[in-house]
């Protein structure tokens, strides 16, 4: 099954992150990212599966993207294909959470 459609929710989530000068995500940003991911997902998966996927994806994405990178991506229209590919790669290991 192709999970690329879930990655499409990540770009708008950049706006959910409050602006700070630090490179690391601010406190609570990963939880907000996961909440927005679950709320934005349009899929047949259960809420528990989506929650597990989105929490995993938030961990992976936060370890590979700075807050500034996500905010920059959220301002791009259309989103940068290279950044979208990075998001897909970062979250791809979480796809198994949708099968549990």
Query: What pLDDT band is residue 40 in, cutting at 50, 70 and 90?
Result: confident
Cβ contact 95:47 at 8 Å: no
Q: 40: buried, middle or exposed (CB in 10 Å: 19+, 13-18, 0-12)?
A: middle
pLDDT above 60 for 70 = yes
Which position has the token pair 């939880």? 31
Quick one: tokens of 92?
């791809």
When mean pLDDT is compared across 14-23, 33-42, 79-88, 89-98, the lowest value belongs to: 14-23
């Amino acid at each position: 099954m192709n999970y690329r459609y879930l990655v499409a929710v990540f770009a708008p989530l950049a706006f959910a992150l409050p602006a700070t000068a630090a490179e690391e995500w601010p406190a609570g940003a990963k939880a907000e990212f996961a909440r927005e991911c679950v709320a934005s997902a349009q899929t047949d998966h259960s809420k528990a599966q989506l929650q597990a996927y989105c929490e995993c994806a938030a961990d992976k994405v936060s370890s590979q993207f700075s807050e500034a990178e996500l905010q920059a991506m959220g301002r791009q229209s259309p989103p940068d294909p290279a950044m979208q590919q990075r998001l897909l790669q970062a979250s791809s290991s979480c796809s198994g959470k949708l099968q549990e």
